[in-house]
Structure 1
Amino acid sequence: MSPSPYTVETESGESYDGISEDLLFDLIGELSYPDNSFLTVEPQASENQWYVVVTLGSDKRLEVEYRNPARREHRVVAGGTVSGIASDVTVWVSSVVRN
Structure 2
Amino acid sequence: MAATYYCADSENGDHIDDPSEDALFDLISELANADNTFIVVQPDQDDPAWFASVAVCDEGGYEIVLRDSTRREHKVTIDTDISGIANDLIVWLAGRNFPGRPAQHTSTF
- Name stretches of at least 5 consecutive residues in structure 2 with no aligned partner: 104-109
Q: Compare CA radii of gyration and give the structure with the larger one.
A: 2
- Name stretches of at least 5 consecutive residues in structure 1 with no aligned partner: none
Q: Do the aligned residues in 2 keep the contact of 1:42 with 1:50 (CA within 8 Å)?
A: yes
1:90 aligns with 2:90: yes
One-letter identity of the residue aligned with 1:73 = E
Per-residue displacement from partner, 1:47-93 (whole Å, max 9, x unpaired)?
63200010012222111000000000001011230000000001101
Tell me which stretches of 4 or more aligned residues in structure 1 moved more than 4 Å.
none
TM-score (norm 2): 0.82
Using the TM superposition, give the Cα deviation of residue 7 of structure 1 relative to its aligned residue in structure 2, in angstroms: 0.6
Aligned pairs, how many?
Answer: 98
Aligned to 1:68: 68
One-letter identity of the residue aligned with 2:53 = V
Q: Which aligned pairs between 1:48-67 and structure 2 lie closer than 5 A? A: 48-67=48-67
Higher relative contact order (CA 8 A, sep 6+): 1
Identity of aligned residues (%): 36
Q: What is the CA RMSD across the aligned residues, in angstroms? A: 1.6
Using the TM superposition, give the Cα deviation of residue 4 of structure 1 relative to its aligned residue in structure 2, in angstroms: 1.7
Aligned to 1:46: 46
TM-score (norm 1): 0.90
Q: Do the aligned residues in 2 keep the contact of 1:34 with 1:58 (CA within 8 Å)?
A: no
